Every structure is written in C-alpha cells, then in structure tokens.
Amino acid sequence: MEEQSIPIGMLLQKAAKIRAHILEMVAEAKSGHPGGSLSAVEILVTLFFYKMRHDPKRPDWPDRDRFVLSKGHAAPVLYSTLAEAGYLPTSELKTLRKINSRLQGHPDHRVPGVEFPGGSLGIGLSAAIGMALAGKVDKKDYRVYALLGDGELDEGETWEAAMAAPKFKLDNLTAIVDRNGIQQDGLTEQIMPMEPVGYKWKAFNWHVLEVDGFDFRQVIDALEKAESMRNRPTVIIAHTVKGKGVSFMEWDPAYHGKAPDKDTVRKLVKTMLEE
Amino acid sequence: MLVQLASMRDAYAEVLLELGQEDSRVVVLGADTSVSIKTSLFGDRFPDRFFNVGIAEANMMGIAAGLALAGKIPFVTTYAAFVPGKCLDQIRNAIAYPNLNVKIVSSHGGLTVGPDGASHQTIEDVATMRAVPRMHVIVPADAPSTRSLVAQACRTLGPFYIRLSRPSVPTIYSASKDVEVGKAKILREGSDIGIIACGIMVNEAMEAAETLSKTGISAEVVDSHTVKPLDSETIVRVARKTGTLVTAEEQNVIGGLGGAVAEAITESYPVPITRVGVRDTFGESGEHEELMVKYGLTSKEIARAAKHLIKSR
C-alpha cells in the first residue's frame, strides 16, 4: 500500500460533511435511520472517494464498479454520499421521505447511482452475486461491493448467498459487514447471537478480513487485499459503532430508527464541521 | 379425432435453447430442479450462462435481479410450489419494484403435479403474482402457445410470471393460430355463453363447448392465457354478446383468472358468472386425471356450470 497516495484529509472532510447531511436530512424528515447510517460513513467514503471506479456523469456506465446497499435502511448515508460525489444536488437531500421526492425512505432505483433497491433485508448480497456473475460472463473487470448490516445476517437468504458466491468463484465480489453490534430490538448478541461472525464466513469458504471500520487506512488495505485475492470472494467485517460521531446516539439502540430534533442537529453539525 | 399430446416443459426447454442462441443476454437459473424441468439442456449448451444455485429459491431470485441489473435477461425456473411461495419478498422488492427484466417460469403448477400431494401442488400462485404491481402473469394452454408466449416474454421488457403444468396436454394451437401476450384468443365462436379459461383448462373448455353444442347450447371459448394484464376489452365484449360467463382454471377460484374476470365485468358490464376451479381447499395425492375429477376441473364441470347458468337466466 502506498501510504503517500491516500488523501486522508479529503476523506476525513467528506466523512464530516456526510455525517452532517445525514443528521440534517433525518431531522428534516423527522424519521429515518441515523444510527446505521452514521456507522457506515467511512466505508462509503472510502469506496466512493478512493476505491471505486465510477463516474457521476455516467451512472449507467457498463464498466463501473457497483455498490449495493443491502442494509437499505441506511439510505441517508447512501444519498448523502451520492450527493457529495455529484450524482444529485445536495439541496435535494432535504426532500428525504417526503411525498413526490426521489429520495424514498429506502433506496430507490430512480436515484442515479443507486444500484439496487435494498430495504427488505437479506436480498442485497444475492443481487450483488448476480452483478458479479454478469461481470464474469461478460469478461468485464468491474468489481461489486455489497454492504450488509450485522442484524441482517439473521436472514437466511444471506447464508444462501454466502454459500453461492464461493461456488461461482466470485473474486470480483466484496461483501462488507457493518458490525455495529446493534439491531432494532437491541444488541445483536442478545437478539440473535452471531459470533463468531468471521468464522461463519470462513466456514462458507470466504476470504475473511476484519478491520476497524472508521480507520481509512485499514479499510483501504482490506479492499486492496480483496482485489488481489483470486477465485474467492472476500468479506470484510468492519467493526463500527452505531450512531458514530454523536455522543448520545452511540451504542443506543433507540437511534436505529429515530430522528434527533432540528435544534440539536444544528448544534451538532456546527461542531462537526468546525472540527 | 386424433389428439396430439405435447409437454409444455419440453416446449419451454426447446424455446430457451433458441432464445439462448439468438440473444447472448439470455441466462438461466435453476434450483436443483433443472433436470426434471429440462432447463439443464440450456446448461449443457451454454454452460457459462446457466447457474444452478441449489435449493435456495430466495437467493435465486436475488441473483436474477442482479443479473438483470447488469443487462442480462434471466429465466428463473423451478416448481410452482416454491415460486412464488418461497420467494415472494425477493420477487416483489428485488424484481417487480425496480421493474427488472426477469422471466420467472414455474413448472408443475396447479393440482396436476399429482401423487406428490398438497405440499407440492400450487393453487394460489396466479392470485399471488397478480397482486404484485408491474408483474405480467401468463398461463399457457399447450406446448405451441408456451413456445410463443415465452419467446414474446423474452422480447418484452419487464417482469413476467409464466406458469406451466406438468402433464402433457392436447395441442390446441397450430402454427397458423397466433397467440399474443395481452390478447385473449377466441378459439370458438358462440352466442349463449362465454367460457373464459387458461392453462390446461382451455382444452376442457373446448370439450365442454362440444358437449354443450349437442344440447343446443352455443358456447364461445376464450383462451385468456394472459391473466395480467387481462384483456378486459375482449372479455367484456364476450359478456355483452353471450350474457353469461364461466371461467375455468387450475387454481383456487379466489383471485386467479376467475377473480380477474369477475372484477373486469363487474366494473363495466356485470353478467352472471360461475368460476370453475379449486374451491378454496388443498389438494391431495392422486393421479392427475383423478384429481381433476375430484376437484371439479373437468369439461363436465364446465358444461354443468354453463347449463345451470343458462337455465337460471
């Protein structure tokens, strides 16, 4: 890895802006899922502003890398990232969840840059497999990334997909698990224990990596290891914190699907962008 | 009269090979039932475009969605007992909602899968798929129309559900009789009653019309192979002409073709209607002819319903 070439400053700045967008848009909508959006910020920033081959001017470019947000409830982080990348105006973000808006509560295919309408949990990895298979059939070198929630791993289809990807030798596929430890009803280890998560994927014949999901260097390093792996898909277990960046939201399951009020957000955003 | 029997499955497998030959975007997915349904023939011919995902229908639908998003035309096939039963969420959210170009073709639909019993018989798939926005629902009557309708589905953008039955059925369509997605086909003209049927019940409807003609009743027979979008125009025209209708399908009478026809005529030209089909009950093991008799899926049942309707008019 070439340390010098990683523009950490730019990535940090993007992350701060995207966190601010997330808070502002869910406050404006008075609903939405801030917790699981905030935990995934650095992962999306790394993909969209460093790793992926994509062009906001050509969202349907056949050779683009693809990002599937399987944990579709984190739509605010996806829309904010796409807006920062230039797929849609940042001014549109405040229409989230409002009538006649493109920005549906869960990712909608009509929004440029949205590859898949995730939302009903468990489907995204399967869809990513389909895209990766098509890439193999067409002998294209694009890569497919799928971001899964850790609560989402409760879904049986995830494991159907986990069995299938190694069978098809999909080394062009990288799954990332946002391991923030919390699902809607509480801690994942209380609701449906899933540890040892890494070993489960290993047993399904995946190339498994574990990283701190907020450390750009670690995330980049893992994505590059995934890219150089041959004949096997990679899963990156990204250890994160739900509600990251907002002290009272961190580790609080209540903020899985609850919006903070506008006044609080105004103060939070001011501090965030100053830092 | 010599009755020629042909299998819808064979017709499907054959037309898939042709479609695969003419369009490299065509890919086929199976879930451990591809030898039985004969889609494995596609896999033999085009191994890099055939994906057997094992016994995992939900995953199969999700993968099909991804393939379609990357420009492929996926044909997804397994038994109707599992599609849509085991994967309605994936069909709804990953395929129909984004209006993807996925063709779901189920085999062994209805009761006539026979001795496997109720767990493997499908009597609610047509109703279920009809209720999903953007989904086309097609129930072909015989092998030649299966070929044609599958090929048309391949060339029409958007999600399709095509439901095939297991037994070999008498051939109704000759090459000269064309069949078009979205257009109900009048197979026999008549003036006293209209029989609207789909799938293997189209042949029963034709036989019923023949029986009825011997008692002086003139029946019009319509193959409504496209259950959605329903050709309401043709059906309402038949209702106006004949004044009463019988529907016939190898499905629960709730929500399938009978439901669709009842909805259409009620909104524009209400006439008395009797729905022949499975009377909201589960099936059981038995040979397919035995099941058809026991559950009232016969020409005799259609003729009886027609006579009763005409008498009480």
Task: State the fold for domain B185-311.
Answer: Rossmann fold (3.40.50)
pLDDT over 90 (residue A254): no
In the residue annotation, B57 being an active-site residue is answered as: yes
Q: List, for residues A8-54, the tens digit of each pLDDT value.
A: 999 999 999 999 999 999 999 999 999 999 999 999 999 999 999 99
Give dist(CA B112, CA A168) in Å, integer. Answer: 35
Give dist(CA A210, CA A199) in Å, integer. Answer: 11
Q: Radius of gyration over alpha carbons of chain A, in Å?
A: 17
| A3-274 carries CATH number 3.40.50.300 | no
Interface of A with B (CB under 8 A): 62, 66, 68, 109, 115-117, 119-120, 122-135, 137-138, 156-157, 160-161, 163-164, 168
Non-local (6+) Cβ contacts of A253 within 8 A are A35, A182, A183, A184, A185, A186, A187, A242
Domains B5-170 and B185-311 share a fold: yes
Which CA distances in Å does A181 have to A34, A151, A187? Answer: 15, 8, 6
Out of A66, A132, A134, the one facing B72 most closely (by C-beta) is A134
Q: List, for residues B210-246, the tens digit of each pLDDT value.
A: 999 999 999 999 999 999 999 999 999 999 999 999 9
Pairing of strands B185-188, B219-223: antiparallel
pLDDT over 80 (residue B74): yes
Q: Residue B89 in 3-state DSSP?
A: helix
Q: Averaged over A246-265, what is the pLDDT?
A: 89
Which one of 3.30.450.40, 2.30.130.10, 1.10.3720.10, 3.40.50.970 gives the CATH number of domain B5-170? 3.40.50.970
Chains A, B: CB pairs < 8 Å: 107
What ranges do the domains of chain A cover?
Answer: 3-274
Non-local (6+) Cβ contacts of A67 within 8 A are A44, A47, A48, A52, A115, A145, A146, A147
Q: Inter-chain contact B51–A133, Cβ cutoff 8 Å? A: yes
Nearest CA in chain A to B48: A137
Q: Inter-chain contact B63–A126, Cβ cutoff 8 Å? A: yes
Residue B163 parent element (H or E): strand B160-165
What ranges do the domains of chain B cover?
Answer: 5-170, 185-311
ipTM of the complex: 0.96
Residue found under tokens 């809607």: A184
- A97-103: long-range contacts at Cβ-Cβ below 8 A with a sequence spacing of 24 or more? A97/A29, A97/A31, A97/A32, A98/A29, A103/A75, A103/A79
Question: Chain-centre distance of CA B122, in angstroms?
Answer: 12
Backbone phi and psi for residue A142, each to the nearest 5 degrees, phi listed first: -70, 155
pLDDT of residue B176: 56
